[in-house]
A = this chain, B = another copy of it.
């Protein structure tokens, strides 16, 4: 069994090649630029780990891992346009560096190349892998749409928010693990348990992300605390604060959301703390994290094979930054 770190290193090194043709350079240079922005490559590595849970890592798992990473980057390119984000990983986003049309088209062709990596796997699992990939891709689009819809709405329930997060981020992690398991010949039940492990881990990860944005240590977090609050982003924290706060606190939250005062972050955090939103969020995160690990425990393979996935879970959830 290989550790998460070791597999990540191997994936990053084999992925650091040119994935696109030379010409037309006006289309493919932007793609190469975007891939070179880097990233933790968590999803493709999850595919390799899902594979190694059941079998020595097969060549097909590397192809699917490449497809997953290209798909993920396709969503980032298009999301950046929709969210009007100027910067990603400290560098200009594609539509900023080039132009919007180039970014749309670069994303499109990146998705097509993802499918061509999928097409390199053997006949045996092609239908199944493609079906899961398509279902996941469709759900990720649905999640992005819901995210945009919810931005325009005042009230979003916790259930709606969790479902959106699940679609937008969890299902890709879950499906990446499951695709590895499919290629490893895992049975249906083991596949589903691994999928659920990934799905709940993804939700726990997002809760932690929302939590850290408000309550994290700026020195460790690496970005300014309160970014979500400044942008009026609906997060686990804000949604819960609305549901448990007093009428007076709700009024104050309403006012804070409508303005851009210098003490907006501070005042919002005061309400969050008064409502014990921080403790609630950590508990909710721990609940999903625990459930994720229970699913992993239930998978019918030797427990020693599961240690890299436990490492992955810890890497995603327990770190402070």
In the complex, the answer to whether B24 meets A109 with C-beta atoms within 8 Å is no
Chain A stretch 53-112: residues in CB contact (< 8 A) with chain B? 78, 81-82, 100-102, 104-105, 107-109, 111-112
Knowing A82-B101, A105-B141, A108-B141, the reply to whether A127 touches B119 (Cβ < 8 A) is yes
With both chains docked as a complex, state the minimum distance between the C-beta of A77 and any C-beta of chain B, in angstroms: 10
1/0 per residue, CB under 8 A from B, across A110-124: the answer is: 011101101100010
A130 touches B115 (CB 8 A): yes
Nearest B residue to A30, CB-CB:
B145
Q: Are B149 and A26 in contact (CB under 8 A)?
A: yes
A side interface size, CB within 8 A: 36
Question: Out of B105, B109, B126, B131, which one reaches A123, CB within 8 Å?
Answer: B126
Across the interface, A138 reaches (CB within 8 A) one of B109, B131, B144, namely B109
Task: Indicate if A239 sits at the interface (CB-CB under 8 A).
Answer: no
Q: Would you list the 7 A-B pairs with minimal beta carbon distance, nearest first? A: A82-B101, A27-B145, A109-B141, A116-B134, A112-B137, A119-B130, A112-B138
A interface residues, Cβ below 8 angstroms from B: 24, 26-27, 78, 81-82, 100-102, 104-105, 107-109, 111-113, 115-116, 118-119, 123, 126-127, 130-131, 134, 137-138, 141-142, 144-146, 148-149
Beyond the given pairs A116-B131, A118-B130, A119-B130, 12 more chain A to chain B contacts, judged by CB atoms under 8 angstroms and listed by A's residue number, are A24-B142, A78-B108, A82-B100, A82-B104, A82-B105, A101-B148, A105-B145, A108-B108, A115-B130, A116-B138, A119-B131, A126-B127
